[in-house]
Structure 1
Amino acid sequence: MKVNLKNGIGDLLFGMKQKDVEAILGKPNKQFLDDDNNVIYLYNNQKLRLTFYEDENFRLGYIITSNPEATVLDKKVIGKNIDDVKKSLPIKDWDTEDFDSTTNHFNESNWLIFQTEFEQVIRIELGAIINDNDEIEWKFK
């Protein structure tokens, strides 16, 4: 499962509607609304959580995965030491934020988060890019 920075993951592109995603992955294992009325799809086998933003006409805008086969720039990262992961990637600008036992390592230019626990990457979060005009750059038209 390839993380396509700024675009999506695998065959999924930011901007897809629920029907587009379902054409690729089928019906989700679970679907619910979050506190902001965004639609959340969960796919157990792929270890994917997909967010369709209510205020953007329910377009796919955020992806979370803990799939051990997920790659970022052709490197597997789940279960790997965060320092080793960061050294192996050409991305050098990281902000960190601690939450109890986990730490988020965030790169804004790619809207990429590696969440770690015990210094190992446990999940990848990827968001659609917001441009200088405060508009989302949709990849799926």
Structure 2
Amino acid sequence: MKINLKNGIDKLIFGMKQSDVIAIYGKPNKNYNDEDDNVILVYNALKIRMTFYKDEDLRLGYLVASSPDLELFGNKIMYRNITAVKKDLAQKGITKFTQEEFDTFENYFNEENWIILQTEFDEVVKFEIGAIINSKDEFEWKFKK
């Protein structure tokens, strides 16, 4: 599953509606609303959780994934040492990360691409990517029907 920075993952493109996603991947394993009344779809086989923002006409705006098939710039990222993953990203000019620690987990956040690499024991265990917010504080929706 290819990560497309600023756009989404695989066939998932920021700005899609639930019906667009279901047309591609079928019915989700789980469908619920979070505390902000956003709609969450979960696909177990893809190991991905999708957030459709209530305040944005229920458009796809955030993805959390842990599939071992995730690739960024042709490199697998999951279950690899964070130092090696960051070295791969540095070769593509992605070097600025804000690091946050809690318990045994560490998050490495890159604001320019709105991605988070979550690690445990120095190994990437989760990848998050969000739709880009522009200088006007508006989402940059990439999906065009």
Q: TM-score range by the shorter chain?
A: over 0.9
Provide structure 2 residue ranges, at least 5 long, that are not aligned to the other structure. none
What SS is found at the alignment partner of 2:55? Answer: helix
Aligned residue type for 1:112: I
Distance in 1, Cα, partners of 2:111 & 2:67: 22
Let me know the Cα RMSD of the aligned residues: 0.6
Which letter does structure 2 place at the counterpart of 1:31? N
Q: Quick one: percent identity of the two aligned structures?
A: 56
1:93 is the counterpart of 2:109:
no
Is 1:78 paired with 2:78?
Answer: yes
In structure 2, the residue matched to 1:20 is 20
SS for the counterpart of 1:109 is coil
Q: CA deviation at 1:108?
A: 0.4
1:112 to 115, 119, 128: 115
Give the Cα separation in 2 of the matches to 1:21 and 1:96: 32
Task: Note the residue ranges of structure 1 that are not aligned, 5 or more in a row.
Answer: none
1:69 equivalent in structure 2: 69
Task: Give, as a single letter, the amino acid of the residue that structure 1 aligns with 2:101.
Answer: D
Compute the TM-score of the two structures, normalised by the length of structure 2: 0.96
2:112 counterpart SS class = helix
**Counterpart of 1:7?**
7
Q: Counterparts of 1:58 and 1:85 in 2: how far apart (Å)?
A: 33
Match of 2:133 in 1: 130
Runs of at least 4 residues of structure 1 off by over 4 A?
Answer: none
The TM-score normalised by the length of structure 1 is: 0.98
The CA deviation at 1:74 is 1.1
Query: Matched residue pairs, number?
Result: 141
